[in-house]
């Protein structure tokens, strides 16, 4: 009767005698812990036997007292337990408040994105139902995955992200499920936990799930169906509870028709679906997002920007964003870097010279002749194209270095290159 009442009553503290009729306290202990996780249990025993005490503490008991009971000792144990409970509740409340205030969300007030976030709030309530997030590149699918995790009952658990497209297909199985000692040449001597195991009790986010190999898809399907898996090179089954959230910008039904994605896996990962609208489908959010990035990058680069000029706002609002929010973010980062402030101006964006490409992107403008940039005509006798390319590259590198005051990191960012590639090209060209 006591066990049956636990899910309803949800006690904070249980005093449990070991010597009970029908079932010992040691047998009841794990049932209590499973029924009401977080409940503290103080065991009462008629004799202080080491094996009994060790077994009880390993089973999750908070404390124990020995008969005949001394009330002052019991009172101390109860007071300590209740103080522990109070502190745990306080920590949990602080965590929940922090998560509410720092929850990954989309900036914007459009109906399109508000509808998505309302849906996410509903779908996240389940702790283990798989969710598939669909959307173009750069729409922020990883933020949706974060919102699902932090709004779910699993928010205390880990959020582990896996970029399926970035892991070689021969390593994806060991990355997901781990491996045992000596499973293959170069394997760690102690074996390794896979990302599935690392995400136990939380959420596993499979980004670009459409790029998984057929073999990896098969093993993922088996895990989703059975909740069990083997490490590479292992013979022991592992079982974990974890929520799978997947994301892709690819058309999975088309991949299924081409035989490149398992239909049964699709239905397992797409029990619930969230479709993230592109930035071009929620254009009223462009300027709020741009202002957010303006503040972020002004602080990052130590610049004073108070806003965006009306002409620049008009250009940003009318631009087509092939890269969605990611493109807009990169645009603001580059333009804050080169802008003087206090307003972000139209010339900082350079949108007029590149209406179809990425704003403020020198490379994109350079490869679209006739769109505001003029090149000399091809001579009748032809030209040395490699030499012309080197001259153009040398010119842009010199311009970027001059514009950033010699800061190579910022110059590389301005040209869309990583730092090491920029330095190599600069040395090679003697710019």
Q: pTM of whole model > 0.75?
A: no
Edge to edge, what strands does the sheet with 40-45 contain? Answer: 13-17, 40-45, 63-66
Give me the pLDDT at residue 77, please: 92
Furthest-apart CA atoms within the chain: distance in Å: 109
Tokens found for residue 174: 């060991």
CA–CA separation, 422 and 286 (whole Å): 31
Q: What pLDDT is attached to residue 365? A: 34
Q: Report how far apart, in Å, the C-alpha atoms of 262 and of each of 214, 265, 298 are.
A: 7, 5, 46
Contact 276, 141 (CB under 8 A): yes
What pLDDT sits at residue 247?
94
Q: Contact 41/29 with Cβ under 8 angstroms? A: yes
Across the strands, what pairs with 42?
15, 63
The string of pLDDT tens digits covering residues 107-132 is 777 888 888 888 888 898 888 899 99
Beta bridge partners of 74: none
Q: Which residues of the chain have pLDDT under 70?
A: 47-50, 92, 94-106, 182-190, 350-377, 419-420, 424, 431
Instruction: Output phi, psi for 270, to 5 deg.
Output: -110, 35
Q: Where are the beta strands (DSSP E) in 189-236?
A: 192-193, 203-207, 228-230
How far apart CA 332 and CA 294 sit, in angstroms, is 6
pLDDT in tens, 251-308: 999 999 999 999 999 999 999 999 999 988 888 889 988 988 898 889 888 888 889 9
Exposed, middle or buried, 19 (CB in 10 Å: 0-12/13-18/19+)? exposed
**Which residues does residue 274 pair with via DSSP β-bridges, in sequence order?**
133
Beta strands in 49-135 (DSSP E): 63-66, 131-134
Q: Residue 122 has which token pair?
A: 């509903």
Question: How distant, in Å, are the alpha carbons of 178, 373, 375, 390 from that of 370?
Answer: 54, 6, 8, 21
């Amino acid at each position: 009767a006591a066990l049956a009442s636990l899910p309803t009553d949800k006690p904070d503290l249980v005093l449990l005698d070991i010597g009970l009729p029908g079932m010992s306290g040691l047998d009841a202990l794990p049932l209590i812990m499973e029924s009401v996780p977080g409940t503290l249990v103080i065991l009462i025993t008629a004799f202080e036997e080491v094996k009994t005490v060790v077994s009880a503490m390993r089973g999750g008991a908070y404390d124990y007292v020995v008969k005949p009971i001394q009330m002052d000792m019991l009172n101390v144990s109860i007071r300590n337990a209740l103080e522990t409970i109070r502190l745990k509740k306080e920590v949990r409340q602080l965590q929940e408040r922090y998560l509410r205030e720092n929850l990954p969300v989309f900036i914007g007030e459009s109906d399109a994105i508000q509808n998505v976030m309302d849906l996410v709030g509903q779908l996240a309530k389940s702790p283990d139902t798989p969710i598939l997030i669909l959307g173009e590149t750069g729409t922020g699918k990883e933020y949706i995955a974060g919102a699902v995790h932090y709004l779910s009952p699993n928010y205390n658990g880990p959020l582990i992200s896996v970029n399926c497209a970035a892991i070689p297909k021969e390593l994806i199985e060991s990355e997901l499920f781990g491996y045992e000692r000596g499973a293959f040449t170069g394997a760690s001597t102690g074996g390794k936990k896979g990302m599935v195991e690392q995400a136990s009790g939380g959420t596993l986010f499979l980004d670009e799930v459409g790029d998984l190999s057929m073999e990896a898809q098969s093993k993922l399907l088996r895990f989703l169906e059975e909740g069990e898996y083997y490490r590479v090179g292992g013979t022991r089954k592992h079982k974990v509870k974890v929520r799978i959230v997947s994301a892709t910008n690819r058309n999975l039904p088309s991949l299924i028709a081409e035989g490149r994605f398992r239909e049964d896996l699709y239905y397992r990962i797409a029990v619930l679906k969230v479709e993230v609208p592109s930035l071009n489908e929620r254009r009223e959010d462009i300027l709020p997002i741009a202002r957010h990035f303006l503040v972020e990058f002004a602080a990052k680069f130590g610049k004073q920007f108070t806003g965006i000029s009306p002409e620049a706002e008009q250009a940003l609002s009318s631009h087509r964003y092939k890269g969605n929010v990611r493109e807009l973010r990169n645009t603001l980062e580059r333009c804050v870097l080169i802008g003087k402030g206090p307003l972000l101006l139209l010339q900082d964006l350079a949108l007029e010279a590149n209406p179809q490409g990425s704003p403020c992107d020198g490379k994109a403008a350079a490869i679209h002749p006739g769109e505001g940039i003029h090149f000399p005509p091809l001579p009748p006798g032809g030209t040395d194209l490699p030499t012309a390319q080197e001259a153009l590259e040398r010119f842009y590198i010199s311009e970027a270095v001059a514009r950033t005051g010699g800061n190579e990191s910022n110059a590389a960012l301005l040209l869309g290159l990583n730092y090491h590639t920029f330095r190599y090209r600069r040395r090679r060209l003697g710019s």
